Amino acid sequence: MKTNCPPTLDSKDSEKVLDALLSNGHTAIKQRKAIRNHCMALLMLEAGLRVGELVSLRLSDLFFNREPVRTILIKPSMTKNKVEHTIPVSPRLMETLACYFVFVALEYGSDIDLTQFAFRTSQGTLTTRQVERIICAAGWKALNRPVHPHVLRHTFASRLMRITSSSTVQQLLGHKYLTSTQIYCHPNEDDKRQAIEGASAQLSQNQSTEQPRQDQPLPAAPVNPGPQPASQSGPQSASHW
């Protein structure tokens, strides 16, 4: 049966893809690329950036006074729907950005041009198609299947929908209409797993409360009084027994 639910990654698969991106760094050049690729993926996974927004970022959009910014401003010129929006930077993303800046500083030296595009190759600025190939390759390596960059944005949105309002998610994603955000109101694999684990835990708890405690003695069995002497006044009523 077809569904309008966008594809997402659960928490374990997300981490596997991120680890696959970092594991490619064995030489100095490959290590810098690994940090760059990991940083790009995290900007989509923890800030919800579209691929087009990602490749449009300048160093000045991510760093100020050689430190990562606390809020990323996505300008109207960078978005496909011309909606400006801001995204607070998570602690993990801030740490990754700081690590990436070390490699940027090594490349440019003390004279860093912050007007340069944030993510580049030796031939120039990264394209959306190149980012797609990088993330898809990480998906094959980590999960044995391709992962489109937009799946990372979908995952970001789906996680947020479980902890905040749809209007907040709308603003963070830069959606013009709330209906675009409401497609994320669906259960993903994490939700299903948590539901099963919660039901199993509740069942176990109920069973443990129904069982007698080991430190309490069981009630004594009734003692058989044995045969009673016949009453001289005749047979007793049935209620006596």
pLDDT of residue 57: 96
What is the domain extent for residue 100?
A: 11-190
Cβ atoms 58, 117 nearer than 8 A: yes
- The residue among 174 and 135 whose pLDDT is bigger is 135
Which residues touch 240 (CB under 8 Å, ≥6 apart)? none
Enumerate the β-bridge partners of residue 121: 124
The verdict on residue 5 lying in a domain is no
Better-predicted residue by pLDDT, 42 or 109: 42
Burial of residue 24 (CB within 10 Å: 0-12, 13-18, 19+) is middle
Instruction: List helix spans (H) across the chain.
Output: 11-22, 28-45, 51-56, 59-62, 91-108, 128-143, 149-161, 166-173, 178-181, 189-210
| Mean pLDDT of the region 222-238 | 49
The reply to whether the predicted model has a pTM over 0.85 is no
pLDDT at residue 237, as a whole number: 38
CATH, residue 81? 1.10.443.10
Q: Is residue 195 a part of any domain in this protein?
A: no
Please report, rounded to a whole number, the percentage of residues in the chain having pLDDT higher than 70: 78
Q: Residue 64 belongs to what H/E stretch?
A: strand 63-64
Reported for 36-39, long-range contacts at CB under 8 A and 24+ positions apart, including other chains, are 36/100, 36/103, 36/119, 37/134, 37/138, 38/96, 39/96, 39/97, 39/99, 39/100, 39/119
Q: Is residue 203 part of a domain?
A: no
174 located within any domain: yes
Give the mean model confidence (pLDDT) for residues 141-165: 91
Averaged over 81-104, what is the pLDDT? 93
Q: In terms of pLDDT, which residue wins out, 65 or 111?
A: 65
pLDDT band at residue 30, thresholds of 50, 70 and 90? confident
Distances (CA, A) of 42 to 66, 152, 177: 20, 8, 25
Q: Indicate whether 76 belongs to any domain.
A: yes
Comparison of pLDDT for 145 and 168, the residue scoring more: 145
Mean pLDDT of 126-144: 96
Q: Between vectors from CA 176 to CA 187 and to CA 125, what angle results, nearest 5°?
A: 90
Q: Assess whether pLDDT exceeds 70 at residue 221.
A: no
- pLDDT score at 20: 95
- Would residue 162 count as lying in a domain? yes
Between 33-37, 45-49, 181-185, 195-199, the lowest mean confidence (pLDDT) is in: 181-185
Does the residue 74 lie in any domain?
yes
User: Is 212 a member of any domain?
Assistant: no
**Per-residue pLDDT at 31 exceeds 50:** yes
Domain count of the chain? Answer: 1
Tokens (6 digits) for 126: 């990264």
Please report which confidence band the pLDDT of residue 170 belongs to, taking 50, 70 and 90 as the band edges.
confident
